[in-house]
């Protein structure tokens, strides 16, 4: 079972020995492509976020505790179409889970966002935490903008 608990958006994390850096929040990146995980991790860390990565649903279940946002690839391996949907099913079972999800998938290049959301709802049930869907084909900048928008919305809700 996957337990995801929303934490405050500012965490204190030790980095580089004894230097303490404040982070803007903790993000779980779930993608089967190592290059994508590494790229997103580097960029998001430069933006001030703490990043946890996972290649598939079972690793996400282990690593996905105490996150503020999830960036999720839907099609994580050829033999497990919509495996990312399995992650959504697990944490949507917890009705108190409010962790926003940003779908970042090449799957979005094949179907429209509306068709993708319908497919997610078919697999997972009606999703209430999908913040935004960003096709991989349009690059990383729109994804970073979506992450920043997501955290700005969360901060505004706390005020």
Q: Where are the domains of the chain?
A: 25-158
Residue with tokens 């999800």: 101
User: Residue 133 has which token pair?
Assistant: 């869907």
69, 100 contact by CB (below 8 A) = yes
pLDDT one digit per residue (tens) for the chain, 159 residues: 333 333 333 333 444 444 455 678 999 898 888 999 999 999 999 999 999 998 876 665 655 567 888 898 876 555 545 555 566 665 555 544 678 889 888 866 666 667 767 766 665 656 567 888 888 888 899 999 999 999 998 777 665
CATH 3.40.50.2300 fits 25-158, yes or no: yes
């Amino acid at each position: 079972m996957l337990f995801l608990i929303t934490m405050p958006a500012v965490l204190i994390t030790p980095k580089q020995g004894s230097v303490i850096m404040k982070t803007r929040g903790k993000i779980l990146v779930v993608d089967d492509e190592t290059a994508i995980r590494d790229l997103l991790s580097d960029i998001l860390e430069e933006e001030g976020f703490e990043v946890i990565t996972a290649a598939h649903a079972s690793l996400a279940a282990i690593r996905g505790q105490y996150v503020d946002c999830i960036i999720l690839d839907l099609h994580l391996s050829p033999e497990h179409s919509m495996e990312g949907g399995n992650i959504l099913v697990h944490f949507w079972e917890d009705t108190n889970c409010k962790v926003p999800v940003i779908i970042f998938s090449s799957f979005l290049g094949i179907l429209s966002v509306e068709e993708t959301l319908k497919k997610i709802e078919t697999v997972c049930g009606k999703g209430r935490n999908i913040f935004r869907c960003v096709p991989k084909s349009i690059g990383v900048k729109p994804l970073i903008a979506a992450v920043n928008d997501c955290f700005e919305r969360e901060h505004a809700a706390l005020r």
